[in-house]
């Protein structure tokens, strides 16, 4: 072989050995990373690495092993993918503690019985420390009295956490207001004699609240007695409210409030009385009254109650002129309450709606007013020739002296008994001079006084002087007016 050939062969052998050496170095580095170069982690097959080189047995020099190549290019090797590193859980090492050492349960504190009893409230609210809780619970197992007290406290704590809202109870507001008013009355209370009027106007206003046009124009028949004869007048629901507005104006003008009539009628021909004022109001209206009349009537009723409340109970004797007669303010307010109820019942009947009588205590006061007015009405009827006394001459009784009397017995929740003097308004009713006895239901007596019931149909029980009974029944019907 020539020198050139040997030179080419040598160059080929050097190139092949270099390539082989380079491949083995790459494989050694990959094997070094895969098999674990860390001395603490040996390779799975038991081979190791030395500080000076790599080899199948872990011995030999790093550079000297390269001379074993054949000079021919070896097959192409695929790059090796390193396996995942082992986790701490799979390495056999103990896991770090995540929590501190478990503390032992606290020993019950040595506390006296008085101290433990004082801690029951805090224990029920779970506000005790661990040692106090242990001491209390240990004590409850030995002391029956404290155990009962603890049970009651726990039940009380349970009531503080209701599952539903207290606002869901519709009666809660009424109970709270009633309780507050019973403990502390309002600064400006409504006088006792004005409460029935306040109640009856509120009930009528609630009835009118949802009325439509058809209800406001429903026909209503007003009924009363005039000279012992039944009389009536047809109007509408709105016309009845206009009637109440105009007659309540008598009380309003007496208190210095504005008169609802555009031009107040004078006393001529009774125009200043209830009937005359009503006719004047109806004539002054360009059109028949409509639902618009409710606002003025409602505002006037509120003004009356508010004014008498500010004025106080001492204003109850203020005279209120009714045209041909006058009533003190406390009786006038009862009279207006009575008429408001009667006409509210007329309206309810016209629209086919039920309507209850007033409260028993209010109805009793209305009956008492009528019973106190009967002696005056009896005297007026005698002067008008509508009542003829027994005998050729009337019984004359001095003022304040007892005279012939009729016992008026009213049955029902608003019931009671009244002795009606028959001979003189100034006489005093006396049981020793009783000549007749009449029994009536409370609502029937009021219907008779309103002119809605005839005297012949009113008495449920009669005993004694028939003429005296007739006079009292017709006098009661004469209390009615438009």
Which residues in 233-251 are b (16+ Cβ under 10 Å) and which e?
Answer: eebbbbbbbbbbbbbbbbb
Counting other chains too, the contacts that 281-286 makes at CB distance below 8 Å and 24 or more residues apart are 281/242, 281/243, 281/245, 281/246, 282/235, 282/239, 282/242, 285/242
pLDDT exceeds 50 at position 375 = yes
**Which uninterrupted H or E stretch holds 225?**
strand 219-226
CA angle 479, 313, 311 (to 5 degrees): 105
**pLDDT score for 26:** 44
pLDDT exceeds 60 at position 374 = yes
Percent of the chain with pLDDT over 70: 69
Listed residue (379, 219, 468, 197) closest to 306, CA to CA = 197
pLDDT exceeds 70 at position 137 = yes
Least confident range of 105-109, 183-187, 248-252, 380-384: 105-109
**pLDDT score for 228:** 86
Mean pLDDT of 246-275: 76
Each residue's pLDDT tens digit, 301-347: 999 999 998 887 677 788 999 988 899 999 999 999 999 999 999 99
CB contact at 8 A, 209 and 264: no
Question: Helix (H, G, I), strand (E, B), or coil: what is residue 232?
Answer: strand
DSSP 8-state secondary structure symbol assigned to residue 49: -
Which pLDDT band, with edges at 50, 70 and 90, does 124 fall under? Answer: confident
Mean pLDDT of 272-289: 83
Q: Tell me what the pLDDT averaged over the chain comes to.
A: 78
What Rg value do the Cα atoms of the chain yield, rounded? 55
Alpha-carbon 442 to chain mean position: 34
Least confident range of 157-161, 276-280, 403-407: 157-161
Which pLDDT band, with edges at 50, 70 and 90, does 250 fall under? Answer: very high
The residue assigned the tokens 């002391």 is 143
Which pLDDT band, with edges at 50, 70 and 90, does 432 fall under? Answer: very high
**pLDDT score for 163:** 52
pLDDT exceeds 50 at position 195 = yes
**Model pTM above 0.85:** no
Each residue's pLDDT tens digit, 25-51: 444 444 444 444 443 444 444 444 444
Mean pLDDT of 139-165: 80
Q: Which tokens is 334 given?
A: 């009862």
Listed residue (340, 341, 320, 194) closest to 257, CA to CA = 320
Q: Which tokens is 420 given?
A: 């009606």
**pLDDT score for 11:** 46
Q: Which tokens is 27 given?
A: 């494989």
**pLDDT score for 316:** 75
């Amino acid at each position: 072989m020539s020198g050139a050939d040997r030179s080419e062969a040598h160059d080929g052998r050097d190139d092949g050995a270099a390539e082989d050496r380079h491949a083995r170095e790459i494989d050694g580095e990959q094997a070094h990373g895969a098999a674990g170069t860390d001395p603490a982690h040996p390779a799975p097959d038991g081979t190791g690495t030395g500080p000076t080189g790599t080899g199948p047995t872990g011995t030999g020099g790093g550079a000297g092993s390269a001379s074993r190549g054949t000079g021919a290019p070896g097959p192409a090797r695929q790059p090796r993918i390193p396996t995942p590193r082992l986790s701490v859980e799979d390495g056999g090492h103990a896991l770090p503690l995540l929590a501190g050492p478990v503390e032992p349960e606290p020993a019950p504190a040595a506390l006296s019985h008085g101290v433990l009893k004082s801690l029951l409230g805090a224990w029920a609210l779970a506000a005790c420390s661990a040692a106090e809780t242990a001491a209390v619970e240990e004590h409850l197992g030995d002391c029956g009295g404290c155990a009962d007290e603890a049970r009651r406290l726990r039940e009380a704590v349970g009531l503080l956490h209701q599952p539903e809202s207290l606002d869901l109870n519709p009666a809660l507001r009424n109970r709270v207001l009633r309780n507050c008013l019973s403990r502390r009355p309002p600064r400006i209370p409504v006088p006792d004699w004005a409460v029935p009027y306040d109640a009856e106007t509120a009930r009528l206003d609630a009835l009118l609240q949802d009325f439509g046009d058809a209800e406001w124009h429903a026909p209503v028949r007003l009924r009363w007695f005039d000279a012992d004869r039944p009389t009536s007048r047809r109007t509408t629901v709105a016309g009845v409210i206009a009637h109440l507005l105009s007659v309540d104006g008598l009380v309003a003008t007496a208190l210095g409030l504005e008169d609802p009539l555009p031009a107040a009628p004078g006393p001529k021909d009774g125009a200043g009385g209830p009937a005359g004022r009503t006719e004047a109001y109806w004539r002054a209206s360009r059109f028949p009254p409509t639902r618009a009349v409710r606002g003025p009537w409602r505002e006037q009723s509120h003004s009356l109650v508010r004014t008498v409340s500010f004025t106080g109970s001492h204003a109850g004797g203020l005279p209120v002129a009714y045209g041909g007669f006058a009533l003190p303010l406390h009786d006038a307010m009862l009279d207006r309450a009575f008429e408001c109820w009667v006409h509210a019942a007329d309206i309810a009947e016209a629209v086919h709606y039920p309507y209850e009588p007033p409260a028993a205590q209010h109805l009793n006061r209305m009956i008492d007013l009528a019973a106190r007015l009967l002696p005056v009405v009896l005297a007026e009827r005698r002067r008008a020739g509508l009542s003829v006394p027994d005998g050729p001459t009337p019984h004359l009784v001095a003022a304040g002296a007892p005279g012939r009397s009729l016992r008026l017995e009213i049955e029902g929740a608003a019931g009671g008994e009244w002795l009606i003097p028959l001979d003189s308004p100034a006489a005093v009713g006396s049981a020793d001079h009783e000549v007749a006895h009449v029994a009536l239901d409370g609502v029937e007596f009021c219907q008779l006084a309103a002119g809605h019931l005839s005297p012949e149909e009113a008495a449920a029980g009669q005993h004694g002087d028939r003429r005296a009974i007739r006079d009292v029944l017709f006098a009661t019907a004469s209390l009615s007016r438009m």
